[in-house]
Structure 1
Amino acid sequence: MSNLSFARHRRLRTTEHLRDMVRETQLHTEDLIFPIFVLEEEGQKNEVPSMPGVYQVSLDYLLEEVNEVVSLGIRSIILFGVPKTKDDVGSEAYHDEGVVQKATRIVKEAHSELVVVADTCLCQYTSHGHCGVIENNYVNNDQTLPLLVDTAISQAKAGADIIAPSNMMDGFVAAIRKGLDEAGFEHIPIMSYAVKYASAFYGPFRDAAHSTPQFGDRKTYQMDPANRIEAKREAHSDVEEGADFLIVKPALSYLDIMRELKNDYNQPIVAYNVSGEYSLIKAASKNGWVDEKEIVLEKMTSMKRAGADLIITYFAKDIAKWINE
């Protein structure tokens, strides 16, 4: 054996502290964005059946949830509205007294330092569950854009720190950027859902947001999971149109896409750890099949290693508790 020459890689793994010293990828509470589903009805805190530990909260319970988030050191939330009423054009999305607008004002008054991201879409607000104006059973791209602009401006007026359009209409970043600038909100960044696939991992979210399409699907505007080069085209368009952040959604099945965007662009990359990814782990953990803490932290680390600067995740509160242990 004395004549053998080989690398001793295990030298840097011999103790826990040594492994910590050479760890290449770190996960911090500052990396996390916690999603909150807000109801207009009073006195409601409803656990989402398909998402154990995730709740729809009414405006009067909102601060209870937000106070916990802040106490854990999480610095950002993203708000999704669940309105009382819906119509064909999702008018509650861009109403100045809409549920996200009210929620934003409540949060910013209590915690001005907390970064509030407003999801800017119409699907929760339309009676048909699609992300835009329907014409002949098809989402009309250009008729939808002005409504998204109105929604973004209304959210900015309410105090949102970041606008996050998730509709996947062509030109949505350009339209929203122009609208925000003309309304005096040139300082408000856009966190674009630049690469959003038509994924089977979204099911539980649609339970939480009451946004299941009433006919057809979203494959004419969300991306084919088989496509990689198309993702680069989508991201390039959003960067050219003024996006400040680029979201990849879902995260876990698209780590390769995340890495490509990180290599190609200087904008912060955001991973959306979606509802289906959350619920699968919760179900397996409940049955004792996996160690929830270990598998979640490994999954989050994989997203960071793939290039994510920030992670939108329903596990945010749990992760913050584990980090702070």
Structure 2
Amino acid sequence: MTTGQEQSHRSGFVSFVGRPNAGKSTLTNALVGQKVVITSDKPQTTRTVVRGIVHRDDAQLILVDTPGLHRPRTLLGERLNDLVKTTLAEVDVVAVCFPANEKIGPGDKFIATEMAKIKRTKKVAIATKTDLATSEQIGSHLLDIAALGTEIGVDWAEIVPVSAKAGDQIALLQDLLVGQLPEGPQLYPDGDLTDAPEEILAAELIREAALDGLRDELPHSVAVVVEEMRLREDRPDDKPLLDIHANVYVERDSQKGILIGPKGSRLKSIGTTSRKQIEALLGTPVYLDLHVKVAKDWQRDPRQLRKLGF
């Protein structure tokens, strides 16, 4: 029997939105306390909707990470935007991220206006990347966010400044988000950090390593598909080895050369970096077999988009 003193349990879904590179993925990882979403300084690196799960005694907060909303230029762009809007209509709270080190611009306005159309969902504004801004900048940024809400008719339930990198106000943000959730039971088992299949997490980590240090024109052209992932059969139980065979797809031969690098050096370093990340996430030694393939102009080809999981 519950007494009046006992706290009720809350559970629900929160989605971070914002223009590309607004700090959404870093924030998800900071709240979950472990890397479940790839982060990169390249805009639009998130493509799958990966949920990070925050377990607390009083609540379960499920974070839905969406691709950055933007004005689409390709079929892939349109699919990403559709995915965002479908996701947002189904969550309990939408948290809009506005980087504190940049002025609010047309991209932010476009996103906030789209948010205003989603009526039932509660809306929270987050000033991200406060470690990159002065206290004066942060102060005027918060006022600008409030003014934007008034202008487009969004009633912010909270406006919170945070730095995911420095860990500032992350615990407070977690409390505020939990406060906006409906009462409900635990939705995922204890210990689950994400509901994304392991193949997708592995593919995302490989893609993150591939994007690191690439020139600006390449990121959108890189897709990764894990073709096979299984434990090697002839190994003793105390010495498992996970075999992963994955293809990195680009759109042109010239891009293939860039990813492989002189004498395969770049591909080797992509393999080493991503293998360590996958091992850390899954807790198992990994043998990673990587190949670079060309899927000509895949971002504009519906058949190839389907094959690559979009």
Query: Normalising by the residue count of structure 2, what TM-score does the alignment of the two structures yield?
Result: 0.34
Q: Which has the higher helix share?
A: 1
Query: Normalising by the residue count of structure 1, what TM-score does the alignment of the two structures yield?
Result: 0.33
